[in-house]
A and B are shown apart, each in its own frame.
Chain A
Amino acid sequence: METRTAHALIRFGLGRKGAEPLPADPQAWLAQQLEGPDPALRVPGASAEDGLLAIREQRARRLEKDGQNPIRSLYRAEQAKYVAHLLTTDVPFRERLVTFWANHFTVSLKRGECAATVHAFVREAIRPHVTGRFSDMVLAVMRHPAMLMYLDNATSFGPDSSVGSRQRKGLNENLARECLELHTVTPASGYTQADVTSFAKVLTGWSIEINKDPVGYVYRRLAQQPGEKLVMGRSYPEGEQSGITLLNWLALHPSTHRNLATKLVRHFVSDTPPEAAVRRIEAVLASSGGDLKAAALAITRLAEAWAPLTKLRSPNDYIVAVLRAVDLPADKRPPDVPGLMAGLGQPLMTAPLPNGWADTAAEWAGSEAMLRRIDWAYGFAGRASAMDPDQIGRLALGPLLSDATLTQMQRAGSRRDAMTLLLASPEFQRR
């Protein structure tokens, strides 16, 4: 295997799966993965509406106090499909982009009822737009029931709207603030608290219907704050369309392109994004009107992106890479992958805060965190003791497997120890 091939599988993918065929042309292999719709969408999954019905049922059952939990059942079924896809997908670059964007627009189980809709959120708001326009993704995200619930917009009311004034309900700025700060322009754009408040007023009425059919996103005209709003120097009339217009403007803002370019380069190139690389991606986003496919392709063409093993794998990346490399028969696979992820510090879909999981080594390389990786690798190596660590190392890492690691593996006193040395080696921690 050539270094460039190994690197493409590891840097841009999820790690090689067993002895899967190697791409002849790594660059072309990456580009091909961005063609056509996401194959994960071919697998049927629960929709946001299914999730909202589960929430409705769950709320009713809570009153009846029986042991059923429709949200948990739905979540577990979706989670199983998601994990299976991570471990088996043959478009791993696209999947990395899905993970990246889902983390950029974090919806977390820290808000419990979001379990009902978070996988639908990824299917409906993220996957269709990973190779499309950022403006379309932003709009899909901001109107998705999962996000409207996670960041409280579903219960935000214009204080002077008919509902707000009648029921003495008011504004919740959460979604508007995070949209500006995290999802789009960032504080670097110079917005003020007044802009946040006005933006929140623009978004009033963007809500969810749960209690009666049809469930789903709903625009509640009677919750919209009356009158014109001024956001970042521009004026927006009352009504649902203003929110759409404003989000579109934010999505195309130069500060947004700067933000996205920096995060993409941090994710795929280096914890300290090189300025030249950021500018390159920024320029692609600006000239293409926020074309995410063009940006992803441009990342793969950055010379800086081909310096091997500069990034530390996050716990979940690490677990997925190990499970793909040591491609165990079904009856030997760890039964509870999400449990492993939680054990190593990155429970699925459960980022602590709306800014998502960190994307720098310093956040993941805690001392106990690293020892837990070693201990897990050792435990897992016990399952894989019938497999040849040498061969797995060569298949998974190719020329990136270091002589030092190989020497220690050959000196190991048991196959299990050799497998542990491989899976816990410095090169296996990195991508």
Chain B
Amino acid sequence: MSHPSMRLTRRQALLGLATSFTLGRASLALAAAPTDRRFVVVILRGALDGLSAVVPYGDKALDLLRPGLLMAQPGAEGGLLDLGGFYGLHPALSGLHAMYRANELLPVHAVAGPYRIRSHFEAQDYLEYGADHAMSSGWLNRVASLMPQTKGATDTAFSVGSVVPLLLRGPQPVGSWLPKTFAQPEPDLYARLAALHRADPITGPAIAEGLKERGFSAATLAGSDEPANRYAFQALCSSAGKLLAAKDGPRLAALEIGGWDTHAGQKNRLAGPLKQLDDGMVALKAALADEWGKTVVLVMTEFGRTVRGNGTGGTDHGTGSVAFVLGGSVTGGRVQANWPGLSSGNLFENRDLQPTADLRALTKGLLAQHFRLDPAALAHVFPDSERTTALPGLLRA
């Protein structure tokens, strides 16, 4: 990469993205690969409550376990978007629902990685290493390393930024894209810091005043309003789509978006990030245009949340959650799950959704069917996963 920053500037100009919107917790990293197939991984950092995103409203135990977190049934105003009579999508996910109806969205429920820990950081690390121990590369970087390398490959690598996620770190050249201005945290993080500083006679009032001056309403900081930078993820998805669609563009992308750690006020706090995710996926599809058929998107989170609500209208760290697979060749229009049931004997450690599918099995299935990776290659991507069989039938042949 002789002049990465110049190339980046030119690309930004091409995309009309040269200026200064801020990105909150969203970020984008890309890598080249000699293929015309595109693969996008979206990490939902902070643990998505799968039972709120894809609600098993047909499971009657749900009403007893989380009465404060329920949404109206399908058909009612502002109600769930039905997925075939047992599951319903959160009403903020209308774009995903349209893809479901076009057989381009496959929700995979009761899924989790092989680890059983409830620390965000460790779980996110393992999710991205593709192993339950630290490695020198993330699994998506290992996917890139398995593709035969062409000499032009680095031409499509981007300026190496500071925030390449673990998922894509490793020996294969990777780039990340961020505008030059300081990225700003989500309102929720400002709110937490404002609370920590509240008792400080000097910094407390200064931070409270500063947030007011920047136009954060009390409602925003309490999480009952949409985040100020709600278009950031959508914009990133749109640029990701345009870059991936380009003839000589990158082929692998890692996106991430935060805001899922809903320990309190979950009903209010979750709608915003879900809407951002939905808008982002719609924008990605639109930007990929004709290449959507050659694209697979995997949306996943580090773990799920407790089935029962906690004392503050939220949920705590759990185990099983939901993942989404999107794309023009996905065998969508159905929910893939071996549903474990929510009655108390069926919960994991009597608190969490019992995982019945392994995220590695799902990912291996996608890599096998999309990139034709053989079992040896898949074992390189996910070490110690030989006994986890790739899920079949995820993509149309």
By a beta-carbon cutoff of 8 Å, the part of chain A in contact with chain B is 312, 332, 361-362, 365-372, 374-376, 378-379, 382-383, 385-386, 388-389, 404-405, 408, 411-418, 420-421, 424-426, 429
Q: Is the beta-carbon distance between A413 and B192 smaller than 8 angstroms?
A: no
Interfacial chain B residues near A415, Cβ < 8 Å: 120-121, 124
CA distance A290 to B318 in the complex (A): 65
Cβ-defined partner of B189 (8 Å) among A372, A404, A421:
A421
Interfacial chain A residues near B209, Cβ < 8 Å: 367
Interfacial chain A residues near B102, Cβ < 8 Å: none
Give the one of A379, A383, A413, A420 with max B CB within 10 A: A413
Give the one of A372, A376, A386, A424 with max B CB within 10 A: A424
Q: Is the beta-carbon distance between A371 and B121 smaller than 8 angstroms?
A: no
Of the A-B pairs whose beta carbons lie under 8 Å apart in the complex, a sample of 22, sorted by A's number, is A312-B202, A362-B202, A366-B206, A367-B207, A367-B209, A367-B210, A367-B213, A371-B214, A374-B190, A379-B183, A382-B163, A386-B166, A388-B121, A408-B195, A412-B261, A413-B120, A413-B260, A415-B120, A417-B258, A421-B196, A425-B193, A426-B197
Would you list the 9 A-B pairs with minimal beta carbon distance, nearest first? A413-B46, A413-B261, A367-B210, A367-B209, A371-B210, A382-B163, A370-B206, A383-B162, A415-B121
By a beta-carbon cutoff of 8 Å, the part of chain B in contact with chain A is 25, 27, 45-47, 120-121, 124, 162-163, 165-166, 182-185, 189-190, 192-193, 195-197, 199-200, 202-204, 206-207, 209-211, 213-214, 258-261, 263
CA distance A370 to B190 in the complex (A): 11
CB contact under 8 A between A312 and B183, given known A371-B211, A412-B261, A413-B260: no
Q: Is the beta-carbon distance between A370 and B207 smaller than 8 angstroms?
A: yes
Cβ-defined partner of B258 (8 Å) among A361, A375, A414, A425:
A414
Interfacial chain B residues near A414, Cβ < 8 Å: 25, 45-46, 120-121, 124, 258
Interfacial chain A residues near B189, Cβ < 8 Å: 378, 412, 417, 420-421
Interfacial chain A residues near B192, Cβ < 8 Å: 408, 412, 421
Cβ-defined partner of A426 (8 Å) among B185, B200, B260:
B200
CA distance A221 to B199 in the complex (A): 61
Cβ-defined partner of B196 (8 Å) among A368, A388, A404, A416:
A404
Q: Is the beta-carbon distance between A371 and B207 smaller than 8 angstroms?
A: yes
Closest to B43 in A: A414
Cβ-defined partner of B185 (8 Å) among A378, A388, A405:
A378
CA distance A417 to B202 in the complex (A): 23
CA distance A411 to B27 in the complex (A): 21
Give the one of A368, A374, A411 with max B CB within 10 A: A374
Interfacial chain B residues near A383, Cβ < 8 Å: 162-163
Interfacial chain B residues near A413, Cβ < 8 Å: 45-47, 120, 258-261
Q: Is the beta-carbon distance between A418 and B121 smaller than 8 angstroms?
A: yes
Q: Is the beta-carbon distance between A365 and B185 smaller than 8 angstroms?
A: no
CB contact under 8 A between A374 and B207, given known A312-B202, A414-B258: yes
CB contact under 8 A between A379 and B182, given known A367-B209, A368-B210, A413-B46: yes
CA distance A382 to B27 in the complex (A): 10
Closest to B162 in A: A383
CA distance A51 to B210 in the complex (A): 42
Q: Is the beta-carbon distance between B200 and A417 smaller than 8 angstroms?
A: no
Cβ-defined partner of B184 (8 Å) among A365, A375, A412:
A375
Interfacial chain B residues near A367, Cβ < 8 Å: 206-207, 209-210, 213
CA distance A361 to B200 in the complex (A): 12
Q: Is the beta-carbon distance between B206 and A369 smaller than 8 angstroms?
A: yes
Interfacial chain A residues near B206, Cβ < 8 Å: 365-367, 369-370
Interfacial chain A residues near B263, Cβ < 8 Å: 411
Q: Is the beta-carbon distance between B203 and A375 smaller than 8 angstroms?
A: no
Q: Is the beta-carbon distance between A382 and B193 smaller than 8 angstroms?
A: no
Closest to A424 in B: B193
Q: Is the beta-carbon distance between A405 and B196 smaller than 8 angstroms?
A: yes
CA distance A367 to B192 in the complex (A): 16
Interfacial chain B residues near A412, Cβ < 8 Å: 120, 189, 192, 261
Interfacial chain A residues near B196, Cβ < 8 Å: 404-405, 408, 421, 425-426
CA distance A368 to B46 in the complex (A): 28
CA distance A366 to B213 in the complex (A): 12
Interfacial chain B residues near A365, Cβ < 8 Å: 202-203, 206
Q: Is the beta-carbon distance between B182 and A378 smaller than 8 angstroms?
A: yes
Interfacial chain A residues near B190, Cβ < 8 Å: 374
Interfacial chain A residues near B214, Cβ < 8 Å: 371
CA distance A365 to B197 in the complex (A): 12
CA distance A113 to B184 in the complex (A): 37
CA distance A416 to B257 in the complex (A): 12
CA distance A50 to B121 in the complex (A): 52
Closest to A404 in B: B196
